[in-house]
Amino acid sequence: MNKKIFLQGKFVIISGASSGIGKATAEVFGRAGASLVLAARNTQQLDEVVLSLQKEGIQAIGVKTDVSIEQDCKNLIDVALSTYGKIDIFINNAGISMRALFEDVSLEVLKQVMNINFWGTVYCTKYALPHLLQSKGTLIGISSIAGKKGLPGRSGYSASKFAMEGFLECIRIENRKKGLTVLSVCPGFTASNIRNSALAADGSQQGESPRNEKNMMPAITVAENILKAVRQQKRDLILTPNGKITVWLNKWMPAFVDKLVYKHLAKEENSPFK
């Protein structure tokens, strides 16, 4: 099938669509023919993304959504259905990170990360699932290698992604005879603003990224790989060689990988541990 028209006549919802992977996925899926419902908290950025897509001839609308609020998630699904009448793909992309030692971090930070990354996925999936089952569609979660290997200094983030991975796996198994595809995506370190907006120990944004964004995978590359995985009806997508090696090694030599992960993240600028 021609990938340029692969999603013609399909209706796709993307959370966290105002920047980064969400924005790039909107562009890639829209150019593949999909009609889009884009969700984000930042309405100014969201409106800019929607307008840019519409100028390309892509059908798209934006819905202000805070995925940590259940009613916002229900409203997102309601708007999508009232606009297009069905849902074929839901991409749980909205997320936030954190960077601090657990002994120093406020528990409110962990609650905020969990509310967005995990509960946001749960809320959106709860209201989208009946319609995805009806269309025999695809449910996608943008996870992380942090959801497969605990990352020091990111206890809340890793916990939220481990929870997301387990949740999506349950949804996949429960609906294995109903035609639903469930895809978990682990992009690795991606050039986006998630590190800039990551929460510090006191809940403030850390600001400048501790990593060199120029050496990371572009968000558009992540989006193109997600589209390919949807076409192939994959269940799991790990995008970077380092991520694949980490997951494989962790099965057989977890203590060794603990040391590697510690040393790697300790090299970050202003690392909370050494």
Q: Domain of 205?
A: 11-241
Q: Could you tell me the pTM of the whole model?
A: 0.90
Considering the domain boundaries, does residue 84 fall inside one? yes
* % of the chain with per-residue pLDDT over 90: 79
CATH number reported for the structural domain that contains residue 150 in this entry: 3.40.50.720
Q: What is the mean pLDDT of residues 207-233?
A: 80
Active site residue 123: no
Residue 129, pLDDT score: 98
Q: Which band of pLDDT confidence, cut at 50, 70 and 90, is reported for residue 81?
A: very high
Residue 268, pLDDT score: 78
Considering the domain boundaries, does residue 173 fall inside one? yes
Considering the domain boundaries, does residue 193 fall inside one? yes
Q: Which band of pLDDT confidence, cut at 50, 70 and 90, is reported for residue 213?
A: low
Residue 21, pLDDT score: 95
Residue 169, pLDDT score: 97
User: Which is nearest to 204 in space by CA: 100, 133, 55, 51?
Assistant: 100
Catalytically annotated residue among 84, 123, 127, 157: 157
Residue 263, pLDDT score: 86
Considering the domain boundaries, does residue 151 fall inside one? yes
Question: Could you report how far apart the first and last alpha carbons of the chain are, in Å?
Answer: 51
What domain count does the chain have?
1
Condensed to tens digits (0 to 9), the pLDDT of residues 52-62 reads 999 999 999 99
Considering the domain boundaries, does residue 130 fall inside one? yes
Q: Which band of pLDDT confidence, cut at 50, 70 and 90, is reported for residue 210?
A: low
Q: Which band of pLDDT confidence, cut at 50, 70 and 90, is reported for residue 29?
A: very high
Residue 168, pLDDT score: 98
Considering the domain boundaries, does residue 271 fall inside one? no
Condensed to tens digits (0 to 9), the pLDDT of residues 116-174 reads 999 999 999 999 999 999 999 999 999 999 999 999 999 999 999 999 999 999 999 99
* % of the chain with per-residue pLDDT over 70: 90
Considering the domain boundaries, does residue 266 fall inside one? no
Residue 270, pLDDT score: 78
Considering the domain boundaries, does residue 189 fall inside one? yes
Distance CA 59, CA 63 (A): 14
Lookup: tokens for 267: 């090299």
Q: What is the mean pLDDT of residues 189-196?
A: 54
Residue 262, pLDDT score: 87
Q: What is the mean pLDDT of residues 6-11?
A: 92
